Amino acid sequence: MRNGRTWALAAALAALVAAVTAAAAIGASSSAKAGGNPYHLKSPGTLVVGMNLQYKPEMYLDAHGKPAGYDVVLLKALAKQLKVKLSIQNLDFTGLIPGLVAKKFDMVSVGLSPTPERQKVVSFSRAYVPYAQILAEQASDSTAASIAAWNDSSKTITSLQGSTAEQLVQKTFPNATSKSFADQNAAFLEVASGRAQGIVVENYLLAQFNKSNGNTLKQVPFPKPLHVEYGAWAVQKGNKALTKPLNAFICKMQKSGQLAKIYKATEGASLPPMPSC
């Protein structure tokens, strides 16, 4: 997914993207004629979107096997705005960008960070989803909300092994003990049980943990998140006919407050700061 989930996965995808030939990228960008197909879609009148529906609550299959989550709600609103049908294709993550380049779909919605490697072969919209790294502690604790208070040898801070959260712990709190786990839930439980004092994690993951565990933890109220990254929609290289309305849609949803409402309803957390339109 995007860089904030696991950097190893993102790095693997970046390597895959770099291997896609420039010729394929050029071919993808030259699709399309306007006329009755103003967005240069693969099938006029239908927006075909590649996704990997395995990341609840952002994108997943619900109990009835239907696509659900933040991305899905946004895409339905987007399709309505563009007056097109929506077709979601659920694929392995590693096949998304090659599939987009091969014109198997019109866009990818999986919270991708627009890295330089990816930008060589696909184009990106403006940011539509934030990934805020925050620090959480037990609900009953009250350590001061300052870097100095947590950057102390008496503190143990957990994270997901191999993630940007782990790197953030080591960089931001070098004097604390960094303890990472291969399983995200184990990192949470280490704090909930009192064996560690804090966890650096994405805000929506904290909301999901608390939803299932009686608000055991709380966010340490720093003035702003420790770090925020953003995911964007990917489209075929050079398809400005689609990128432009995507950007307009995102700004419309952001300015109207609908983006924040959808985020709260699906992710269970407040929308982190977004780039201004």
Mean pLDDT within 80-109: 96
Residue position matching structure tokens 């987009």: 100
Question: Token digits for 221?
Answer: 């109220």
Number of structural domains in the chain: 2
Residues 15 and 81 placed together within one structural domain of the fold: yes
**CA 175, CA 113: separation in Å to the nearest integer?**
30
Mean pLDDT within 190-212: 96
pLDDT at residue 96 above 90? yes
Residues 57 and 18 placed together within one structural domain of the fold: yes
**CA 62, CA 71: separation in Å to the nearest integer?**
13
**CA 26, CA 256: separation in Å to the nearest integer?**
36
Cα angle: 57, vertex 192, 217; to 5 degrees: 55
What residue type is 268 in one-letter code? Answer: G
**CA 261, CA 254: separation in Å to the nearest integer?**
10
Residues 156 and 46 placed together within one structural domain of the fold: no
277 within domain boundaries: no
50 within domain boundaries: yes
Phi, psi of 68 (to 5 degrees): -150, 170
Residues 80 and 215 placed together within one structural domain of the fold: no
Residues 110 and 194 placed together within one structural domain of the fold: no
Residues 63 and 155 placed together within one structural domain of the fold: no
Partner residues linked to 61 by β-bridges = 67
219 within domain boundaries: yes
pLDDT at residue 189 above 60? yes
CATH number of the domain where residue 73 is located: 3.40.190.10
Residues 126 and 27 placed together within one structural domain of the fold: yes
276 within domain boundaries: no
> How far from each other are the two terminal CA atoms of the chain, in whole angstroms?
24
- Average pLDDT over all residues of the chain: 89
pLDDT of residue 164: 86
4 or 146: whose pLDDT is higher? 146
pLDDT of residue 129: 97
1 within domain boundaries: no
pLDDT interval class at 268 (50, 70, 90): very high
Residues 162 and 214 placed together within one structural domain of the fold: yes
pLDDT of residue 7: 40
Residues 178 and 108 placed together within one structural domain of the fold: no
Residues 143 and 124 placed together within one structural domain of the fold: no
273 within domain boundaries: no
Residues 238 and 188 placed together within one structural domain of the fold: no
Give the Cβ contact number of residue 202 at 10 Å. Answer: 27
Local structure of 193: helix, strand or coil = coil
Give the Cβ contact number of residue 142 at 10 Å. Answer: 10
Q: What is the domain extent for residue 60?
A: 7-130+230-267
What b/e string do you get for 152-164 counting C-beta neighbours within 10 Å, with b at 16 or more?
Answer: eeebbbbbbbbbb
163 within domain boundaries: yes
2 within domain boundaries: no
Cβ-contact 117, 18 below 8 angstroms: yes
Residues 186 and 248 placed together within one structural domain of the fold: no
Cβ-contact 165, 145 below 8 angstroms: no
Question: pLDDT, tens digit, for every residue of 5-24?
Answer: 444 344 444 444 444 444 34
